[in-house]
Amino acid sequence: MAKSSFRLNRKGGAEVLKELAAPAINALANQIAAQAGEDAEVDEYTTDRAAAAVKVPAHQQAKDGVLTRAAAAAGLEVRAK
Amino acid sequence: MTDREPRDVARIVKDWLKADLATRFPTLSVALELPSNWSLGSNPVLVVEDDGDPLRMWPAATSPTIRVTSWTSGRNRTYVHAALTRLLTQSIPGIAAILPGTGVLDARDSKTRGDLASFTVRARARTAVPQ
């Protein structure tokens, strides 16, 4: 039986997670922020992968749910990490 | 085509919390919207709202985010802490599951000057044939 070998391409994986995924992640964050209103801010960053945070004023979320509503409209749910 | 329709999860949660918290907090109102005459000094109000659904489970179920916010005169997390604990630990007829959403955050309502405390949960409810 032939012995198969597998070699993880860490560099390639990192490139996909950090660089190739970044435009889609950032576009989604900006879409949610646009829906959440003019006070929403987007923070784009990179950890071991591309990521982005959307911030809204606390009173707008508490009173009107601007972030959770915008996330739902984009097909996402908001939950604690 | 299906004859099943979404349940009004916010209303189910509101009715359940209203009954569940009535004995412990006799002055607390639980509603789907803030009474238009609420002002500083009024009794506390807990408002339950539906923040929308990504519809990932449609048509078998809906998955709305439910937001619960208290209006109080002065910072007071008592009501949302009680509601959060009850929602995440008890079974509510008509709702398949309630999962954690976001933790409690404090804010102030610029219109009424009331103090707000708010959290969200993620609900799962099977669609049902209307009675």
Task: Return the residue in B46, B65, B115 with the most chain A beta carbons within 10 A, the one to mutate for interface testing.
Answer: B65
Label residue A4 by pLDDT band (50, 70, 90). Answer: confident
| Number of compact structural domains in chain B | 1
Exposure of B121 in the CB half-sphere (CA atoms within 13 A) = 23
At residue B122, the pLDDT reads 97
Domain of B120, in residue numbers: 9-126
Residue B1 lies in a domain: no
Bridge partners of residue A41, in order along the sequence? A55
Is B112 within a domain?
yes
| Residue of chain A nearest B110, judged by CA positions | A59
**Is B3 domain-assigned?**
no
CB of B83 within 8 A of CB of B68?
A: yes
Calculate the alpha carbon distances from B3 to B58, B95, B130 in Å. 13, 19, 8
Predicted confidence at residue B41, as pLDDT, reads: 96
Check residue B53 and give its pLDDT.
95
Contact at CB, B109 and A59, closer than 8 angstroms? yes
Query: Does this complex have an ipTM over 0.95?
Result: no
Q: Measured between CA atoms, how close is B39 to chain A, in angstroms?
A: 15
Burial class (CB in 10 A: 0-12, 13-18, 19+), A28: middle
B106 domain residue, yes or no: yes
Query: Using CB atoms, which residue from B56, B64, B106 is nearest to A58?
Result: B106
Mutate to test the interface with A, among B104, B120, B121, B122 (most CBs of A within 10 A): B120
pLDDT at B80 over 90: yes
pLDDT at A1 > cutoff 70: no
Predicted confidence at residue B131, as pLDDT, reads: 80
Separation in Å, CA of A40 to nearest CA in chain B = 16
Q: Is A19 left (phi over 0), alpha (psi -120 to 50) or beta?
A: alpha
Task: Judge: B69–A59 Cβ closer than 8 Å, yes or no.
Answer: no
In this complex, do A61 and B118 lie within 8 Å of one another by their Cβ atoms?
yes
From the CA of A68, how many Å to the nearest CA of chain B? 6
Rounded to a whole number, what is the distance in Å from the CA of A75 to chain B's nearest CA? Answer: 4
Test B116 with A62 for CB contact under 8 angstroms. yes
Q: What is the mean pLDDT of residues B114-127?
A: 97
- Over residues B33-74, the pLDDT tens digits come to 999 999 999 999 999 999 999 999 999 999 999 999 999 999
User: Could you give the percent of chain B with pLDDT greater than 70?
Assistant: 99
Q: Specify whether the CB–CB gap between B59 and B53 falls below 8 A.
A: no
- The first and second tokens of residue B85, run together, are 């604990």
Chain A interface test: which of B51, B53, B66 (most A C-beta within 10 Å): B51
CATH number (domain holding residue B25): 3.30.2000.30
Per-residue pLDDT at B34: 97
Contacts 24+ apart (CB under 8 A), A7-16: A14/A48
Residues of A in contact with B52 (CB under 8 A): 68-69, 72-73
Single pTM value for the model: 0.92
Whether the bond into B59 is cis, omega within 30 of 0: yes
Query: Looking at the domain assignment, is residue B4 inside a domain?
Result: no
pLDDT tops 90 at residue A3:
no
pLDDT digits (tens, 9 = 90+) for A18-50: 999 999 999 999 999 999 999 999 999 999 999
pLDDT at B130: 87
Does B13 fall in a domain?
yes
